[in-house]
Chain A
Amino acid sequence: MPALKDLATRKDPLTGGHRACSGCGAPIIVRQVLMASKDPVVVTCATGCLEVVTTIFPYTAWTVPFLHNAFENSAATCSGIEAAYKALKKKGKVKTEHVNFVAFGGDGGTYDIGLQSLSGAVERGHDFLYVCYNNEAYMNTGIQRSSATPKGASTTTAPAGKVIPGKVQFQKNLTEIMVAHDLPYVAQSAVGFWRDLTAKAEKAFSIRGPKFINALQPCRLGWGYDPSLTPELGRLAAETCIWPLYEVENGKYKLTYKPKEKKPVTEFIKTQDRFRHLSRPGNEAVVEEIQKEVDRRWQALLERCGEKAPQ
């Protein structure tokens, strides 16, 4: 793990002045991941917030090579670049000793429309890191539900109405789906844990083959909170065990953050507008169900990690 003062001397992959919302967590993830790379990087990005706010022509915020192709194919596009690199290196046409290929996608481009492309690329064993900046809805197009949207959250396509209290389903456990691909490295991290995310990215870059990091990215617009609270909400997600931080290296689970005291989910829920309706009378059962499911998933994770549940 590089020291903070070393990280500060590394090339910033994104220049300031891009058009992300104030308090956006996505550029934080990009910087903390890419600055962990000692080798040159090449980036692909799915259509989404990150691509839109960093590249409006004639400007680009990227100081590293960057390719945006379409929405659902960041992984497949990255796999093509990696294949080209191998072919051209073999022929002596590319000299760079080692390149870290990094594909970014939001939860829309990763959990949903891009899942097949991601699954195919990791199965083929390309040497690349896929990073999902997971803000739990289609934020770029105006906060529509995704399969990463948590139960109870209000989105524009699963709004909290008079009879339906927001999204009905629990979110898909994509990190476990990626673990089931038997990748050499899979991890879950969050904005608000810079050391955790950077260390995981650094470890991923030290491993050859496909790697996956699912990074929770609080979104002030879609979640509805004060933009200064972005890192705090990431931390709160981990402290409530709604979003545990862990890694799976060659099938071996390791919890990378253990909350001293497991906070109730209401601590997280009460901070955001997307859950505001849950505090209304009649929605108590929804909150209870969320707590129950979070507990069940947390318990299952602890077992996989060989840990005991804290009090």
Chain B
Amino acid sequence: MPILAKTGNEAMAEAMRQINPDVVAAYPITPATEIVMIFSGFVADGLVDTEFVAVESEHSAMSACVGAAAAGARVMTGTSSQGLQLMSEILPIASALRLPIVLCEVNRALSAPINIHCDHSDTMAVRDFGWMQVYAENAQEAYDSIIQMIRISEDERVRLPGMVSTDGFIISHCMEKIEALEDNEVKKYIGEYKVINSVLDQKNPISIGSLDLQDYYFEHKMPVVEAMGKAKDVILEVSKDFGKRYGREYGLTEGYKLKDAEIALVAMGSTCGTTRAVVDELRERGVKAGLLKVRVFRPFPAEEIVQALSKVKAAAITDRSDGFSNQGGQLFTEIRSAMYEQKAKPILSNYIYGLGGREISLEDIRKIFDEQKEVADSGKVKQLIRHFGVRE
């Protein structure tokens, strides 16, 4: 396997080159611009067969993706933040029409105030649109996940679009060592795209996108519900198979030194890497600390999270986004809801951190664990929801 030095964006673009989609329609936006830039270079150099549609906006990017996918093409795109929001009208159309579009996302804070740095508010804002969501911890995982997402989204049990996101600048612009697959290997792994319906089929002309009122709409939303249910199994299946072939298995969640942990931190994205380092340090000091990484947010791995945290005394759920519900960040509210019927569950508290790219340091993570130790010992939470790292 080739060992390469790649930034997150380069790794995603490389995966796209190897996937060689039929159509890419995309619009540049910081910090995802490079993905589109690098890919258009591949097109210009004849390294891919892709029809690249350099649209005038993200709205048109997703619109063209829907058109191309409805015509039976394997379709990809990339975006971030405001770009994802501009696409958002079309995102639920893509899922409801069961078009397996794969999107390379780079997490960036939403305006206003305008900011180009990382938080998860952009993807969290579109979490309920029927798209699968994977939050990668590093460039390697982003690369692997994009390739896996092709298989997952095109699986006939799923046939839903999916996005894989990396933390803006932290992953997108930092160079890491990645183990890539050979071009032929990727081609073999993803296989030929299987067309189910196409507007290019003149023998069987179909109408897609009909007006659908009270008498059918509900029934037509149910397949999306069911597909999202099945997506969990398919993600695990694909992940296991990928692990068997290439030695890297990810799953829906990953516990790190969690089995005997008394205190835990739950995180998504690059913060998991920082947390691993602190967990190691605490373990050396004899503190039973662990990490639960939530990699897949849609479909939401409720049972897995409940199971993984069942023996933990206190858990800090970290959210790099605030849903303005006054009930904590999105990860917290979902986990808290999943815990409701459980008898054995940890005391939960929520740390909303890192908005607009505010740094989360080793020291910050240590502090969170220290506080969790106090919660575990006292059995009491001083403050259920905290905005951590914000100046008073």
Contacts and interface: CB of A to CB of B under 8 A. Distances in A.
Contacts of A9: none
B200 A94 contact: yes
Interface stretch (B59-67, B134-142, B163-171): B59-67
A80 B25 contact: yes
Contact of B90 (A40, A73, A121): A73
Contact of B210 (A57, A78, A93): A57
A79 B202 contact: no
Interface string B212-230: 1100100010000000000
Interface in A32-76: 40, 42, 44, 51-52, 55-58, 60, 62-70, 72-73, 76
A81 B63 contact: no
A96 interface: yes
B100 to A, nearest CB: 14
B23 A65 contact: no
Contacts of B55: 76, 79, 120, 124
Interface stretch (A83-91, A210-218, A291-299): A83-91
A266 B63 CA distance: 43
A117 interface: yes
A119 interface: yes
Interface in B48-81: 49-51, 53-57, 59-60, 63-73, 75
B38 interface: no
Nearest to A71: B89
Contacts, number: 167
Contacts of B59: 72-73, 76, 116-117
A265 B385 CA distance: 68
A84 B71 contact: yes
A87 B21 CA distance: 9
Contacts of A84: 22-23, 51, 67-69, 71-73, 75, 200
B19 to A, nearest CB: 13
A55 B211 contact: yes
Interface in B123-181: none
B64 A77 contact: yes
B63 A90 contact: no
Contacts of A42: 71, 199-200
Given A60-B210, A68-B210, A81 B67 contact: yes
Nearest to B219: A57
A212 B35 CA distance: 33
A71 to B, nearest CB: 9
A123 B205 CA distance: 29
B114 interface: no
Interface string B1-45: 000000000000000000000110100000000000000000000
Contact of A124 (B49, B54, B93, B206): B54
Contact of B93 (A62, A70, A88): A70
- A interface bracket (residues with beta carbon within 8 Å of B): 35 or more
A99 interface: yes
B49 A81 contact: no
Contact of A85 (B50, B89, B200, B211): B200
Secondary structure at chain B's binding surface: helix, strand, loop or mixed? loop
B193 to A, nearest CB: 9
Interface in B75-115: 75, 89-90, 93
Contacts of A81: 67-68, 70-71, 199-200
A124 to B, nearest CB: 7
B68 A83 contact: yes
Contacts of A119: 56
A62 B207 CA distance: 7
Contact of B67 (A51, A60, A67, A93): A67
B23 A123 contact: no
B201 interface: yes
A55 B209 contact: yes
B196 interface: no
A96 B202 CA distance: 8
A81 B70 CA distance: 7
B208 interface: yes
A78 B68 CA distance: 8
Contact of A69 (B63, B72, B198): B63
B272 to A, nearest CB: 36
Contacts of A72: 59
B66 A77 contact: yes
B60 A120 contact: yes
A94 B73 CA distance: 11
A31 B75 CA distance: 32
B56 A78 contact: no
B90 A83 contact: no
Interface string B184-210: 000000000000001111100111111
A108 to B, nearest CB: 15
B211 A87 contact: no
Contact of A76 (B22, B67, B199): B67
A69 B56 contact: no
B201 A52 contact: no
Contacts of B212: 56-57
B121 to A, nearest CB: 24
B49 A62 contact: no
B208 A67 contact: yes
Nearest to A79: B64
Contacts of B211: 51-52, 55-57
Residue of B71, B201, B212 most packed against chain A (CB within 10 A): B71
B49 A91 contact: yes
Contacts of A94: 72, 200
Nearest to A73: B63
Interface in A117-149: 117, 119-121, 123-124
Nearest to A42: B199
Given A65-B205, A96-B200, A96-B202, A88 B210 contact: no
Given A76-B60, A80-B68, A117-B57, 17 more contacts: A58-B216, A66-B199, A66-B208, A68-B208, A70-B93, A79-B25, A79-B67, A80-B63, A81-B67, A83-B68, A83-B73, A86-B51, A87-B73, A94-B72, A96-B200, A120-B57, A123-B56
9 contacts: A52-B211, A66-B205, A66-B206, A68-B208, A77-B64, A77-B67, A79-B67, A91-B22, A96-B200
Sort A-B residue pairs by CB-CB distance and give the 9 closest, nearest first.
A80-B67, A120-B56, A80-B64, A68-B209, A84-B71, A73-B63, A84-B73, A76-B60, A76-B63
